[in-house]
Amino acid sequence: MGVIIKTTGASIPANRITNDDLAKKIDTTDEWIRSHTGIGCRHFADEGKVTSDLAAEAGKQALERAHLAPEEIDVLIVATATPDYFGFPSTACLVQAKLGLTNAAAFDITAGCTGFIYGIDIAGSMLGKFGRKRALVIGAETLSRIMDWNDRATCVLFGDGAGAAVLEYSDEEGNGILHSWLQAKGDGALNLYLSQPSRDSAYVRHPFEKDPSVIMNGKNVYMFAVKAITDIIEHLIAVSGFNLEDFAWIVPHQANARIVQAAAKRFGIPETKFYMNMEEYANTSAASVPIAFNEMAEKGLLKKGDLVMTMGFGAGLTYGGTIIRW
C-alpha cells in the first residue's frame, strides 16, 4: 500500500528568452550567465496569463494522461511563490474552478523552490484516509513578474512555467513515495525574499515606492543550497538503506548547474546521474522538479521500477527530498 505518481503534465510558455536577448536589455553576456549558472534561456508567460492559467494547463494534461475525470480528484495542492492574489483567494481554488475539480479540497503552499517536494509529501499523507484516493499536485510560477531588472545577478536566473503530477493511493507494494524529509532554516529567511513596503507588515496602507521584487543574497543562498543538497542526499541514503548506485536518477531543483556539480564531486558520482534542464528553462522555483519529471517521462527516461531521488531548496529557507519508486 502506498502513494504512486501516476502521470505528469507541464505548461511551458512559448515566449523563449535567450541570454543574448537579455543582454540587449541589461549588462550581461551569454558567456557570463552560462559559466556561472548553466542557464541558456528561460520562458516568460505572455501578458495577461497568470499563474493559475499555467497551473490549470499543466494539471489538465496530467489528468488527461491519467484518464481521470475532474471529479475523481480528492485533493488539489498548488505550490507557488507567485499566486494570482496575495493573501486570498488561493491559486488552488482558482485552478479548481478552471479544471472543474468539484470534489477536491484545494489549498496553496508557500515553500519556495521546495514547494513541490512539500506538496507531494503533504498529498501522500492525506491519501488513503477518509476516502481520499487521488491528488493533483502542481508547482507553478510567473517569476518574470517579480524580477528587479536592475539586479543583473538575480534577474537572469528565473523563468516561468508549471508542472503537475497525479498522485494515487495504490495497493502496489514497494512502489511510489518511499521516503520523504522536509526541513526549514528560518533564520536565513531574509537571504531570499519578496520586497514589500514595510518590513513590519505586508498590509501597510501606503503605495509601493517600486514594484515588489525578488531580493536575494546570492552568495549566502548558493552556500545554503550546496549544503542543503549534500544534507538531503546523506539523510535519505541513511534512512532508506539504499546506496547511490541503486538510483536510476537524481532529480534536483533546477537552480544552478554549479550546485549539482559540487554535489556530484562530493559524492563521487557522475553528473549524468543528475537530470538537469535549467539550460532551457532556468530556475522555475516550485515548478522546476515537476517540469523535469514531465520532460523525463515524455522522453521515456522514467521506467517502471526505477528508483528516483528528488530534492528542492529555496526561499524560507526550506529544503527537503523524496525517494520514489517509479
As annotated, the active-site residues are 113, 253, 283
| Distance, CA of 12 to CA of 220 (rounded, Å) | 30
Residues 6+ apart with CB under 8 A from 199: none
Strand partners, 319: 183, 313
Concatenated DSSP letters of 118-131: HHHHHHHHHTTSTT
Closest CA to 183 of 134, 220, 230: 230
For 101, which DSSP code?
-
Question: How many residues are given for the chain?
Answer: 326
User: How many CB atoms are located within 10 Å of the residue 75 CB?
Assistant: 23
| Distance, CA of 40 to CA of 58 (rounded, Å) | 23
Instruction: Tell me the residue type at 265.
Output: K
Closest CA to 17 of 130, 192, 149: 149
Output the CA angle 114-85-55, nearest 5 degrees: 55
